[in-house]
Amino acid sequence: MQIYVLFSVISMILIIIPFVTIIIFSIRASHNIHEKMINNLLQAPLYPFHDQNPTGRIINRISRDLYSLDLDLPFNALQLLISSSNYVINFFTCIIFDFWSLIVLPFAILIFRYYYNYYIQISSQLTRLQAKSKSPILQKMQESLYGRTTISLFGNDIPFIDKFNEIVNTYSKISIHKFGSLGFFGLRISLFSLLIYIAIIMIVLFQINYLSTSTLVSISIIYAYSLASYVSGFYTDFSTLELNLVSLERCLAYSNLPKESVDKLKEDERNSSIQGKIEFQNYSTKYRPEWPLVLRDFSLEINEKEKIRIIGRTGSGKSTIFLTLLGMLKPTSGSLLIGGIDISSINGDQLRRSISIIPQEPSIFMGNLKENLDPKNLYSDEEINNVLKITRLNKLIEGDVMKFQIEEQGRNLSLGQKQLISFGRAILKKSKIILMDEVTSAMDLDTELVITSIMSSIFKETTIITISHKMNILSNYHKIVILDNGKVSKIVYPSS
Ligand SMILES: Nc1ncnc2c1ncn2[C@@H]1O[C@H](COP(=O)(O)OP(=O)(O)OP(=O)(O)O)[C@@H](O)[C@H]1O
Ligand SMILES: [Mg+2]
């Protein structure tokens, strides 16, 4: 009795220790990989990484693949530990009780390995394909949800539903093949387990006269049966683990992305600001190495505090100029100096602290207005209130406007109001350079007047580059640069 209790306690301890160890290590590993992935994704360059990787693909990795790492992998590892120990124990027990079963076992192992290799090669490729084919589903779902008003307005539901069905079908086809391959493997493994069992029983029967007791015969048969099922369990668990390692491989790929050189700023760099003079010197750039130049031999000098307007046909490279100023596109030749310093030698973080951009479609977060104006909580309530007054955002609601709740993607704000928030951020940041891309195109006259007055008062000392097709506020600009095919074709001085 005591010996049974002792065995039970020892076996419990032997199960609990590896269980707890695996869980602790897997939580720690998942946590570290998650941290690394998020940091790397935030620091990955916009070009080419974010430009070439749709959000659906990224969301898939930080949801489905990470889930596999959190929940599937540790339990697979545990399962494999249990089935492999059962496998080894049964293997030796079989040999101890009936030495001749050793004749069958090497053949069995070789056959299992053959099928295992065959299955795992196909299945791991199918798992990769399955994970890849899921990203477009997430992407399409996101696009359709955000654009559902426009889609319905144009009566374009059917093509969207057809496209969605098509990508779901692709995903289902791959999934069916994956499950089919698992069925193929499972069937063969079970069949060969049965064959091992039969072979060992035959061996036992052939030497039944030589085995000393009937107990020995039954033990040999019982262990042969268990061995057959444990071998199949071992290979199934091993293959599941290997397939789930594909998720680990995908997560690790995102935790080793090339980083943009946005190093941590030193204290003196944090407080220094880049001056507002901009010089493009025979600057050429392109989006990808194999694609044609978008800006070619572009030369332009913009003095501090100047207000510049850039016009040009669609595709002439206006928005590209902004990307180069923010250090997101690198030059293929020539140089770009800001405040007399070549931007390739300026820390990316410092560069973007000194430049504000007001895009056509500003980024708005879910939360209150204060959080949207000052996401890093750097400014006092007084400064923020002042900005709300300047931008007239204080007229948005009655009462405490800073607590005004903004919905996802700023759905409860007009485009003009979103741009005013963006202006508010630029005022708070006190940047030396402000870039505005088609800001006034969707604004009513009143909001445009607010912007014009901000430009001539608050941003008097700031260098401003504007892309705008509207002709009504020409007089505010020192220069109008006409761009053609990535080159300056003409500069007009409105004052003259
Ligand atoms: N992400 C990108 N990847 C590759 N090429 C791009 C990308 N964005 C723009 N381009 C190409 O660069 C060229 C200039 O584009 P850009 O967006 O700068 O034009 P734009 O003058 O701002 O046009 P618009 O008036 O329509 O906004 C175009 O030929 C465009 O096809
Ligand atoms: Mg543009």
CA atoms within 13 Å, Cβ hemisphere of 488: 19
The answer to the question of residue 11 being in a domain is no
Which atom of ligand 1 is nearest to 483's Cα? 21
386-425 confidence digits (pLDDT tens): 999 888 888 877 777 778 889 888 888 888 888 889 989 9
| Residues 338, 218 share a domain | no
| Residues 190, 148 share a domain | yes
317 CB less than 6 Å from ligand 1?
yes
The answer to the question of residue 338 being in a domain is yes
| Residues 163, 309 share a domain | no
The answer to the question of residue 260 being in a domain is no
Distance (Å, whole) CA 360 – CA 441: 8
Span from the CA of 243 to the centroid of ligand 1 (angstroms) = 41
| Residues 272, 250 share a domain | no
Span from the CA of 325 to the centroid of ligand 2 (angstroms) = 14
C-beta separation of 347 from 263 below 8 A: yes
Nearest CA to ligand 1 atom 4: 287
Distance (Å, whole) CA 383 – CA 362: 21
Radius of gyration of the chain (CA): 33
Which amino acid appears at position 416 of this protein? G
Distance from the first to the final alpha carbon of the chain:
107
Which atom of ligand 1 is nearest to 438's Cα? 27
Band of pLDDT at residue 223, cut at 50, 70 and 90:
confident
The answer to the question of residue 259 being in a domain is no
| Residues 272, 176 share a domain | no
| Residues 276, 247 share a domain | no
| Residues 296, 198 share a domain | no
Predicted TM-score of the model (pTM): 0.74
133-151 confidence digits (pLDDT tens): 988 998 899 889 888 888 9
The answer to the question of residue 4 being in a domain is no
Span from the CA of 319 to the centroid of ligand 2 (angstroms) = 4
Q: How many domains does the chain have?
A: 2
Nearest CA to ligand 1 atom 24: 314
Q: How far is CA 191 from the centre of its chain?
A: 43
- Phi and psi at 161, nearest 5°, equal -65, -40
Q: Which residue carries 């089935």 as its tokens?
A: 83
Distance (Å, whole) CA 19 – CA 206: 43
Q: Quick one: pLDDT at residue 137?
A: 92
| Residues 322, 224 share a domain | no
Alpha helices in 326-414 (DSSP H): 348-354, 369-373, 381-390
Which atom of ligand 1 is nearest to 320's Cα? 18
CA atoms within 13 Å, Cβ hemisphere of 449: 4
Q: Quick one: pLDDT at residue 92?
A: 84
CATH number of residue 477's parent domain: 3.40.50.300
Beta strands in 75-161 (DSSP E): none
315 CB less than 6 Å from ligand 1?
yes
| Residues 306, 159 share a domain | no
| Residues 60, 35 share a domain | yes
Distance (Å, whole) CA 486 – CA 484: 6
Span from the CA of 294 to the centroid of ligand 1 (angstroms) = 8
The answer for 312, left when phi > 0, alpha when psi is -120 to 50, beta otherwise, is left
287 CB less than 6 Å from ligand 1?
yes
> Last residue of some domain: 229, 254, 279?
254
Q: Is beta strand 367-368 parallel, antiparallel or unpaired with respect to 355-358?
A: unpaired
- What would the mean pLDDT of 456-472 be, rounded to a whole number? 82
Q: Which residue carries 């445009």 as its tokens?
A: 448
Neighbours of ion ligand 2 (CB under 5 A): 319
Which domain does 140 fall in, by range?
A: 16-254
The answer to the question of residue 46 being in a domain is yes
| Residues 278, 370 share a domain | yes
Hey, which of 46, 51, 283, 287 would you mutate to test ligand 1's pocket, going by the most ligand atoms within 8 Å of its Cβ? 287
Question: Which residues are CB-contacts of 148 (< 8 A; sequence separation ≥ 6)?
Answer: none
| Residues 402, 291 share a domain | yes
